[in-house]
């Protein structure tokens, strides 16, 4: 009797287990059917991504600048240039829509999901097109991130037409500095990338000309790397193709870089940055006079960083891409920066940052450490020290002559009265 009850109980338990498993399998089948067989369309807005882009391009000019961070004619010219560099449309997505996706991403820091909503495409489609445009923009960088005149034969109008700099800095061909761009790295790598900013960054070295265009860039260094170390790599690695200055020409650098032939820095242990002079007027000595004019001209690189970062919001909050992609985005946006500068008739951001009275963000005025202890570069410091002293004496002589002339004019006016 007991054996029969035990057998019945065992059979019942087995039936319950089978029913439970069947219910679980049925639930999985139902979920699969909902997800893959009976899909509910997600991107169902009537206006397609193509229509949205065309609406922007055919609307008020300011809409194009706000959405794509450039004027209409620059947008069209960019699309043509990228096609020439290998960007191709697909059956469902044209070049203008692809470029619009990329410019929204870098211009506003939008992630994939937001781009899906704007352009009504799947995440995979968005990602594929973004990388196509990124590749084309990297090709653009080889054409646009370089000196327009590799031999630096002419003095730029910024110097020629400004009495503060002419003829004292007639042989200055550009400025060099480093800046930090936020990055996303794995926890195990964060130690190398978290510098004095307090969050992970990549250190980006750049050279600019007096037209606020980048002529050389070296992104991708960890945030803890000293500017002088990155500079050393740029100069000593032949693969970098650094645009070296011709004889008697030089770049302006700050005190964070070593003194080398062709690289003119300020007098150390003296006031240098412009805010320091604004806080306390007047000059303590002739070296500070040189530093003031040197800083005023070298500030072009900081203004260049400023307009670049202001235009492309992705540089202030980088998405979680592979680090290699993050580095490529830096180079691509610098190429776009140059493309806009060289082709735009009137650009709002460039006009704003050309203003001498603009106050730069702290991130654009990095602190300067003495870089001589960080690298071991052979150099002719005496040559550049002589150049610096010569320019200083010329500036002082000019200022004293101007002061004397003004004094004589005042005396003449007083005598005539």
Q: Which residue has the tokens 């009137």?
A: 346
Give me the pLDDT at residue 181, please. Answer: 97
Give me the pLDDT at residue 161, please. Answer: 94
Rounded to the nearest 5 degrees, what angle is found at the Cα of 150, between the Cα atoms of 148 and 152? 90
Give me the pLDDT at residue 356, please. Answer: 63
- Residue 14's φ and ψ, nearest 5 degrees, are -65, -40
Of 261, 212, 209, the residue nearest 235 (C-alpha): 261
Torsion angle of C-alpha atoms 293, 294, 300, 302, degrees rounded to 10: -110
Q: Where are the alpha helices (DSSP H) in 217-373?
A: 227-236, 274-279, 286-311, 323-343, 348-354
Of 44, 54, 138, the residue nearest 100 (C-alpha): 54
Give me the pLDDT at residue 90, please. Answer: 94
In terms of DSSP bridges, do strands 250-252 and 263-264 run parallel, antiparallel, or are they unpaired?
parallel
Distance between first and last Cα of the chain = 139
Give me the pLDDT at residue 417, please. Answer: 43
- Residue 207's φ and ψ, nearest 5 degrees, are -120, 135
SS3 175: strand
Give me the pLDDT at residue 405, please. Answer: 64
Give me the pLDDT at residue 414, please. Answer: 41
Strands lying side by side in the sheet with 214-222:
214-222, 201-208, 172-182, 250-252, 263-264
In sign, the C-alpha dihedral spanning 71, 101, 104, 215 is negative
Q: Which residues of the chain are under the pLDDT cut of 50?
A: 8, 43, 362, 364, 370-378, 408, 410-417
């Amino acid at each position: 009797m007991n054996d029969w009850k035990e057998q019945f109980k065992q059979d019942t338990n087995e039936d319950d287990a089978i029913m439970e498993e069947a219910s679980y399998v049925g639930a999985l089948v139902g979920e699969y059917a909902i997800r893959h067989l009976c899909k509910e369309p997600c991107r169902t807005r009537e206006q397609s991504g193509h229509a949205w882009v065309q609406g922007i391009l055919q609307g008020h000019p300011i809409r194009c600048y706000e959405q794509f961070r450039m004027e209409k004619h620059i947008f069209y010219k960019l699309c043509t240039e990228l096609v020439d560099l290998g960007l191709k449309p697909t059956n469902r997505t044209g070049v203008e829509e692809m470029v619009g996706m990329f410019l929204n991403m870098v211009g506003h820091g939008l992630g994939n999901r937001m781009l899906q909503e704007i352009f009504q495409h799947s995440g995979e489609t968005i990602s594929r097109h973004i990388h196509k445009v990124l590749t084309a923009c990297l090709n653009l960088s080889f054409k646009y991130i370089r000196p327009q005149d590799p031999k630096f034969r002419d003095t730029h109008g910024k110097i020629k037409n400004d009495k503060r700099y002419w003829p004292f800095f007639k042989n200055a061909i550009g400025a060099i500095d480093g800046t930090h761009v936020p990055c996303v790295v794995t926890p195990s790598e964060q130690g190398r990338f978290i510098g004095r900013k307090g969050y992970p960054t990549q250190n980006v070295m750049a050279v600019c000309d007096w037209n606020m265009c980048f002529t050389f860039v070296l992104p991708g260094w960890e945030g803890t790397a000293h500017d002088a170390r990155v500079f050393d790599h740029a100069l000593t690695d032949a693969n970098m193709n650094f645009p070296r200055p011709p004889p008697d020409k030089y770049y302006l650098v700050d005190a964070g870089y070593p003194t080398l032939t062709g690289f003119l820095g300020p007098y150390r242990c003296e006031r240098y940055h412009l805010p320091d002079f604004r806080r306390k007027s007047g000059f303590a000595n002739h070296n500070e006079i040189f530093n003031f004019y040197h800083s005023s001209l070298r500030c072009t690189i900081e203004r260049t960083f400023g307009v670049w970062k202001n235009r492309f919001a992705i540089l202030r909050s980088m998405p979680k891409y592979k680090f290699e992609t993050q580095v490529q985005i830096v180079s691509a946006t610098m190429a776009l920066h140059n493309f806009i500068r060289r082709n735009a008739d009137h650009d709002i951001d460039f006009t704003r940052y050309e203003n001498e009275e603009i106050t730069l963000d702290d991130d654009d005025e990095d602190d300067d450490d003495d870089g001589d202890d960080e690298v071991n570069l052979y150099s002719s410091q005496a040559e550049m020290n002589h150049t610096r002293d010569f320019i200083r004496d010329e500036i002082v002589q000019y200022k004293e002559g101007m002061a004397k002339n003004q004094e004589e004019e005042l005396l003449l006016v007083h005598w005539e009265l």
